[in-house]
Structure 1
Amino acid sequence: MTENAAESRPRPRVLVTRRLPADVEARLRTEFSPLLYEDGGPIGLDKIAAEAEKADALLITGSEKMTGDAFAALPKSIRIVATLSVGTDHIDLDAARKLGFVVTNTPDVLTDATADITLLVMLGAARRAYEGQKILREGRWTGWAPTQFLGTDLRGKRLGVLGMGRIGQAVAARARAFGMKIHYHNRRPVAEAEALAATYHDTVESLLRVSDVLSLNCPGTPETHHLINDRTIDMMPPNAILVNTARGSVVDDEALIRALKSGRLQSAGLDVFEGEPKVNPGYFDIDNCYILPHMGSATVETRNAMGFCCLDNIAAYFSGQEPPARVA
């Protein structure tokens, strides 16, 4: 760990568990006294507890699992934990509240980047992009042929959006531009969906039955754990495509791999995985799966915005104001 030189006016000391984009770290050094984890991380919870003795605030990412025990191990000097993520499934929010911690996230700022990557993996899955790249990179392409790598048009297909929050709406708007027909399930109808001529389904099962392409945009919760499994996959139309840029825990990997190998599903596009960075090796043996290593928010603009959002929350807390993105 390294710490900025002390200034005449004490600044909050912020323990940062991962290296951040250069612009974010520059602002961090200007406004705070940062404790940066130089190894690149992720940092273990025991290390966090030890280094936190020097800090007033904690800035984590989705890689750090803040359990009740992890919060209990933090020193009394830390009262705010800012996560560089919109999702909070890695944080025990109930424990944080009971122990008096403020927790903040980064809503709104990663909507467009994640929606863009959703369309990328959707197109990759529909148009057999991995297979095309593979044959080129291996030097096995012998030239164009009328029946080679025939994929599926998105135009006219029914897109099922499971979770019509900000990201789901952004995915639906992009898909509408491709000529897709939008269907969705949410806890309740969404007013903004009317502009997309989207059809609301009051159950997941109803949505699955009409989803030629299913986009998972729901949070990772106990209720959504392995929501996509053998039973629910069988509800989808023949030759359907599954897309997941939400949380890996929503999908039963073994069930999806079986469906892809058997042809029950045409293909899948995945940017997230259960237990990541460990990935079920079954995905590596199938060509009809377009996979990326959790790149949804990976643009300079978006990661900067996420980092600045964390710093805004921490700054607000130490100035006596309500953090703008407080979740606990």
Structure 2
Amino acid sequence: MKPVLFINRNMPEEMVAPLREVYEVDMWPSASGAVPREVLLEKAASAHALWTMISDQIDEEVLDASPNLKIITNMAVGYNNIDVKAAQERGVIVTNTPDVLTETTADLAFALLMATARNLMGAEHALRDGKWTSWEPLGFTGMDVYGATLGIIGMGRIGEAVLRRAKGFDMNVLYHNRNRKSEMEDMYGCRYAVLPDLLAQSDFVLILVPFSEETRGMIGKEQLEQMKKTGILINVARGGIVDEEALFEALQKKRIHAAGLDVFETEPVPLDSPLLTLPNVTVLPHIGSASLPTRLAMMKLNQQALLAWARDEEPNHRVW
């Protein structure tokens, strides 16, 4: 008998068809709605393989309910939605989708930075709502990007891709990272900085660190107070890295100028979130990797990992 694969979203048939040859495929019918928790537990109980999304919490409860489970492939670079330690203890392989989304996510990070700096969303809403009545000397003014100082927290692949874009805007780039990258400093003229110095000197602070217990709440009240009053915070990493209550207070009291957020502590973000009430916040629905070619490439990596396991081959991009 074929092993059972449960796919947690409705995927294009071109991606699923090869899997049907080696798996008994069970696929959630919705491409947009998350699989309910009780359904996930039910489906996982008979599954040998799971194809999961970043919003699917694969914790000990799910793993304990899945005695046959051998592989989880996650459609994301990050995998904080999966209890990897618990999976490893149970001999369950976990894979992700690195590399293919680097440039696309860097594009989005820089686009969000620019949109937030220049208040593009506020200007567009004013136009659509009929509130643009004349040219004003200080109407819809924002902050300059060209020649500004960018502080990047987390200098991995995406950080380096953003750095390349920033140099095209003649930005002065600081970075904070677990390890210094001397060759990169020599190549691009960027400078390493301890976190307080980066926050104090940067016009834009871009968060790109992975989410972990070490980085949870990394940017809180103390860190926000170290930023310039004209500073802009951009987060395209994970929501839990920023203390949202502290961020709301800093923005409301204008301790910092603005924020651009593609990620939130709770996703989808509740419509009653205080952050959504502020005019100096630009928000996006976690679309860092959302270009069609990139999302298809991510799916392909997941497909390849699942096919490899079913054929007794070593899956690529194992987390452990």
TM-score range (shorter-chain normalised) is over 0.9
Q: C-alpha separation between the residues in 2 aligned to 1:21 and 1:169?
A: 32
Q: 153, 157, 160: which is aligned to 2:151?
A: 160
1:4 is matched with: none
Q: C-alpha separation between the residues in 2 aligned to 1:133 and 1:64?
A: 34
- Unaligned runs of 5+ residues in structure 1 are 1-9
- CA distance 1:241–1:98, change in 2 (3 Å): same
User: What pairs up with 1:144-155 in 2 under 5 angstroms?
Assistant: 144-155=135-146
1:289 is matched with: 281
User: What pairs up with 1:44-123 in 2 under 5 angstroms?
Assistant: 44-76=36-68, 78-123=69-114
- 3-state SS in 2 of match to 1:161: strand
Does the 8 Å CA contact 2:8/2:51 hold for their aligned counterparts? yes
Q: C-alpha separation between the residues in 2 aligned to 1:32 and 1:153?
A: 54
1:134 is matched with: 125
- Unaligned runs of 5+ residues in structure 2 are none
1:196 is matched with: 188
Q: C-alpha separation between the residues in 1 aligned to 2:83 and 2:3?
A: 24
Are 1:298 and 2:309 matched, yes or no? Answer: no
The CA deviation string for residues 125-154 of structure 1, in whole angstroms up to 9 with x for no partner, is 100112101111111111323321111111
Are 1:322 and 2:314 matched, yes or no? Answer: yes
In the TM superposition, residue 286 of structure 1 has moved relative to its aligned partner by 1.2
Q: C-alpha separation between the residues in 2 aligned to 1:287 and 1:110?
A: 30
Q: C-alpha separation between the residues in 1 aligned to 2:185 and 2:61?
A: 41
2:257 is matched with: 266
Does the 8 Å CA contact 2:205/2:233 hold for their aligned counterparts? yes
Does the 8 Å CA contact 2:44/2:62 hold for their aligned counterparts? no
Amino acid at match of 1:314: L
Q: C-alpha separation between the residues in 2 aligned to 1:192 and 1:268?
A: 27
Q: Between Structure 1 and Structure 2, how many residues are aligned? A: 317
- 3-state SS in 1 of match to 2:26: strand
In the TM superposition, residue 25 of structure 1 has moved relative to its aligned partner by 3.4
Amino acid at match of 1:271: D
Identity of aligned residues (%): 36
Q: C-alpha separation between the residues in 1 aligned to 2:156 and 2:245?
A: 28
Q: C-alpha separation between the residues in 2 aligned to 1:275 and 1:75?
A: 29
Are 1:37 and 2:33 matched, yes or no? Answer: no
- CA distance 1:132–1:109, change in 2 (3 Å): same
The CA deviation string for residues 265-315 of structure 1, in whole angstroms up to 9 with x for no partner, is 111111001111134621222111111111111111111011110111112
Amino acid at match of 1:298: A
Amino acid at match of 1:303: R
Greater mean deviation of Cα atoms: 93-102 or 205-214 = 205-214
RMSD over aligned CA atoms reads 1.8
TM-score scaled by structure 1? 0.91
Q: 243, 254, 268: which is aligned to 2:245?
A: 254
In the TM superposition, residue 20 of structure 1 has moved relative to its aligned partner by 2.4
Greater mean deviation of Cα atoms: 41-50 or 176-185 = 41-50
- 3-state SS in 1 of match to 2:202: coil
In the TM superposition, residue 242 of structure 1 has moved relative to its aligned partner by 0.3
The CA deviation string for residues 44-78 of structure 1, in whole angstroms up to 9 with x for no partner, is 343223223443311011111111221111132x2
Q: C-alpha separation between the residues in 2 aligned to 1:278 and 1:131?
A: 20
1:220 is matched with: 211
1:229 is matched with: 220
The CA deviation string for residues 95-134 of structure 1, in whole angstroms up to 9 with x for no partner, is 0111110010111111111111111110111001121011
Q: C-alpha separation between the residues in 2 aligned to 1:198 and 1:326?
A: 32
Amino acid at match of 1:143: S
TM-score scaled by structure 2? 0.93
Are 1:275 and 2:266 matched, yes or no? Answer: yes
